Chains A and B, each alone.
Chain A
């Protein structure tokens, strides 16, 4: 039977030798992300900025300009109209109204009244959301805390399961992944909302997952090949787990690809964030997390003999 092998059996890529290039590339990407973030900022959705989002279905298929015209003279500030999925569906975003939480509620009624005046009873409200200033601040703070908490939790777990150098390497890789994801959201102007933060947390989980598998193999090989140069052990471990890393990434991206194409507009941005984050996460566990162990320094030879006989036979 023919088998699909994305990574041939005897692959030995000199990944550790490319570490300086990878490091320079990653640092450059992080700097670029920071620049985008500072210059463009993030396109916060109503979750974090507050405001109103109304998804309407208008059967007679008006133009975007007609829908926009419905809000002329409504006094609601900036109103953005976007076609959404079907051609009968529109997303209306209304900026956060000046005033407190009560003002948002009043504006929702104003918006509905203007839509009804323009299109009559045919308007179907598929979604009406508004988030007042109190909740949007809570959500933003909560999201930031959650991402930090996740990173710290991962750091602690790796410290507990491995030694310190591994913990720093893993956390460096996942901070890299989070920053690059924020950077790409900043660059593309995709909406950054609660679902995006959920995606960030999952990216943290996935990046960790990938890194842990490589580290697990490094730890095993360090016990097996006590006298071998660290660089060679790392390279060997990466290559041994490469096929697994690639296969898991492929199946996960297949699932996310199905979501982005078929899952409907609501989960699209989330799926995009995940695909990007997983790609970056796969790269970082191979090219950053493992080579960084050379930088942080791994203690060797202090552990008990372990499965020495087995190791020698395999070598």
Chain B
């Protein structure tokens, strides 16, 4: 009955060796190269770093798509001689009202030809409403999300941040984790711009005061040019895009001959041709470099620029020039990003948390060890050894899994220390009872382990359920806690049922006690 199968001994030995080897790097000050494992990875709250949750405002992409659909419909209606008023996009639906409602059928047909992904409604008054159908909308949103992820990755990589994590979350969110970044202001600034750039001609025929008063010539729009002030200088710019920023293949900050920071640009073949044509046709006129709806500068074209490279001068410091070049290299975001949540922890708080958490864990361990010996004597020693193996095994598994240890995770380990002995408490109490009922030591110990098993399993399953729910609901640190707790359940069961049992049975067969002093 008290026979120990050989495989249990083998497994116990393997587990102890694994625990010692893989948890060792966590206790050694420097990484010993001959050890296979690495110390457990620390969460942002312990090593310091920044966590940003971003939302991709993909409504903007849908609105843009509808605008271009409306443009197409406009052209077709004009060609077919269909009159309309009140055309525009509002709340993700395009609309227009036919001047002659009897043309509705023809208009519907033309609109359907213009874009087949549209859901079109017509009411009796000749009002047409266009929406993208569900599939098209979903596809646009997903592609906006994945493009944004890509651009974010490129921008962050350009800043030289180590091992950033950039993950999609849900339908419209991107989680960015930046280990070691304790001042994410620059990165937040970089992510805060869509960086859509284009080159357009300035409308020099328009009157600025008229435009500011709201009378902008058709085909042009009123923008503001950067001059270092909050508002900028009003300037009227044609809507038609001469060359788009999509045609850029390179951008770099340099100091020009006047000792001013500028950004040099390189276009691809198509962009170079268009830029060459634009500058050749418009020598002596001004063109505007527009970034996110703001004019960076609007220089006069002095001579044709055929080579496919250009230069932007503006109100730059070297830092802003570098950031602009970085944004242009990394490409434009399809839609603006909104920061929903930020959690940044500086390195000093992280260090303090590790120190405090470790100390608390050690004290907890010491108290529990003393208590167990005080209550259960030699059996307590067995439980304590099992507990030590348990903690080493837990750390070893977390290290080997590449799981992240967070501050709540350290609290989880401390809590595991307190609860881990529960299984042994259950067993020893049972052995005590059985001994009191007059069983022999061998029989009492055997019954103790056997009878307590059911309660131990039930009790641990309940903790496991709590851990699973935690994992499900959790964000970063709480997930780390849930993982620690769940792994702790398994190591605890193993250590109390196998390790402590082997120790107790080993002692039993050697000491052969007549009376058990539990």
- In the complex, the answer to whether A259 meets B470 with C-beta atoms within 8 Å is no
- In the complex, the answer to whether A198 meets B429 with C-beta atoms within 8 Å is no
Least Cβ–Cβ distance between A300 and chain B, in angstroms? 20
- In the complex, the answer to whether B418 meets A252 with C-beta atoms within 8 Å is yes
Q: Is B374 interfacial (CB-CB < 8 Å)?
A: yes
Q: How far is the CA of A248 from the CA of B356 in the complex (A)?
A: 24
In B4-32, the 8 Å CB interface with A consists of: none
- In the complex, the answer to whether B411 meets A263 with C-beta atoms within 8 Å is yes
Which residues of B have CB within 8 Å of A153?
465, 468-469
In A267-310, the 8 Å CB interface with B consists of: 267, 270-271, 274
In A100-141, the 8 Å CB interface with B consists of: 100-102, 104-105, 108-109, 112, 124-132, 134-135, 139
Which residues of B have CB within 8 Å of A109?
185
Which residues of B have CB within 8 Å of A41?
none
Q: Is A62 interfacial (CB-CB < 8 Å)?
A: no
- In the complex, the answer to whether A251 meets B371 with C-beta atoms within 8 Å is yes
Q: Mark B460-481, 1 if CB is under 8 A from A, else 0.
A: 1111011111101111001001
- In the complex, the answer to whether B463 meets A209 with C-beta atoms within 8 Å is yes
Stretch of B279-287, B342-350, B494-502 that contacts chain A:
B342-350
Q: How far is the CA of A256 from the CA of B517 in the complex (A)?
A: 30
Q: Mark B393-433, 1 if CB is under 8 A from A, else 0.
A: 00000000000000110110011011101100110010011
Q: Is A262 interfacial (CB-CB < 8 Å)?
A: yes
- In the complex, the answer to whether A263 meets B346 with C-beta atoms within 8 Å is no
Q: How far is the CA of A143 from the CA of B436 in the complex (A)?
A: 47
Q: Is A190 interfacial (CB-CB < 8 Å)?
A: no
Given known pairs A3-B375, A212-B455, A244-B425, the reply for A262 and B367 (CB within 8 Å) is no
- In the complex, the answer to whether A126 meets B340 with C-beta atoms within 8 Å is no
Q: Is A247 interfacial (CB-CB < 8 Å)?
A: yes
Q: Is A161 interfacial (CB-CB < 8 Å)?
A: yes
Q: Is B339 interfacial (CB-CB < 8 Å)?
A: yes
In A231-268, the 8 Å CB interface with B consists of: 240-241, 243-244, 247-248, 250-259, 261-264, 266-267
Chain B residue nearest to A54 (CB atoms) is B344
Given known pairs A127-B345, A262-B359, A264-B353, the reply for A253 and B418 (CB within 8 Å) is yes
- In the complex, the answer to whether B371 meets A250 with C-beta atoms within 8 Å is yes
Q: How far is the CA of A112 from the CA of B342 in the complex (A)?
A: 14
Q: Which of A101, A197, A217, A263 contacts B55 (CB 8 A)?
A: A101
Q: Which of B344, B368, B474 contacts A129 (CB 8 A)?
A: B344
Which residues of B have CB within 8 Å of A102?
338-339
Q: Is B277 interfacial (CB-CB < 8 Å)?
A: no
Which residues of A have CB within 8 Å of B188?
105
Q: Is B227 interfacial (CB-CB < 8 Å)?
A: no
Q: Is B123 interfacial (CB-CB < 8 Å)?
A: no
Which residues of A have CB within 8 Å of B426?
213, 244
Q: Mark B89-133, 1 if CB is under 8 A from A, else 0.
A: 000000000000000000000000000000000000000000000
Least Cβ–Cβ distance between B227 and chain A, in angstroms? 22
Stretch of A21-29, A72-80, A200-208 that contacts chain B:
A200-208
Given known pairs A129-B344, A146-B469, the reply for A105 and B339 (CB within 8 Å) is yes
Q: Is B363 interfacial (CB-CB < 8 Å)?
A: yes
Least Cβ–Cβ distance between B447 and chain A, in angstroms? 10
Q: Is B328 interfacial (CB-CB < 8 Å)?
A: no
Chain A residue nearest to B338 (CB atoms) is A101
Q: How far is the CA of A250 from the CA of B417 in the complex (A)?
A: 12
- In the complex, the answer to whether A198 meets B408 with C-beta atoms within 8 Å is yes
Q: Is B300 interfacial (CB-CB < 8 Å)?
A: no
Q: Is B360 interfacial (CB-CB < 8 Å)?
A: yes
Q: Is A57 interfacial (CB-CB < 8 Å)?
A: yes
- In the complex, the answer to whether A247 meets B473 with C-beta atoms within 8 Å is no
Q: Which of A108, A256, A261 contacts B415 (CB 8 A)?
A: A256
- In the complex, the answer to whether A258 meets B414 with C-beta atoms within 8 Å is yes
- In the complex, the answer to whether A3 meets B377 with C-beta atoms within 8 Å is yes
Q: Mark A184-200, 1 if CB is under 8 A from B, else 0.
A: 00000000001101100
Q: How far is the CA of A197 from the CA of B340 in the complex (A)?
A: 21
Q: Is B459 interfacial (CB-CB < 8 Å)?
A: yes
Q: Is B171 interfacial (CB-CB < 8 Å)?
A: no
Residue from B182, B367, B411, B467 whose CB has the most chain A CB atoms within 10 Å = B411
Q: Is A227 interfacial (CB-CB < 8 Å)?
A: no
Seen from chain A, the residues whose Cβ lies within 8 Å of a Cβ on chain B are: 1, 3-6, 9, 55, 57, 85, 100-102, 104-105, 108-109, 112, 124-132, 134-135, 139, 142-143, 145-146, 149-150, 153-154, 157, 161, 194-195, 197-198, 201-202, 204-206, 208-209, 212-213, 216-217, 220, 240-241, 243-244, 247-248, 250-259, 261-264, 266-267, 270-271, 274, 314
Q: A130-B342, A135-B53 are in contact. List 15 more A-B contacts (CB 8 A).
A: A101-B338, A124-B346, A127-B345, A150-B469, A157-B461, A204-B466, A209-B419, A209-B459, A243-B429, A244-B425, A254-B364, A258-B361, A263-B357, A263-B414, A264-B360
Seen from chain B, the residues whose Cβ lies within 8 Å of a Cβ on chain A are: 53, 55, 182-183, 185, 188, 338-346, 348-349, 352-353, 356-357, 359-361, 363-364, 367-368, 371-372, 374-377, 407-408, 410-411, 414-415, 417-419, 421-422, 425-426, 429, 432-433, 436-437, 451, 454-455, 458-463, 465-470, 472-475, 478, 481, 485, 517
Rank and list the top 10 A-B pairs by shortest CB-CB distance, nearest first: A255-B418, A205-B466, A264-B356, A252-B418, A146-B473, A255-B364, A126-B349, A208-B462, A258-B364, A263-B360
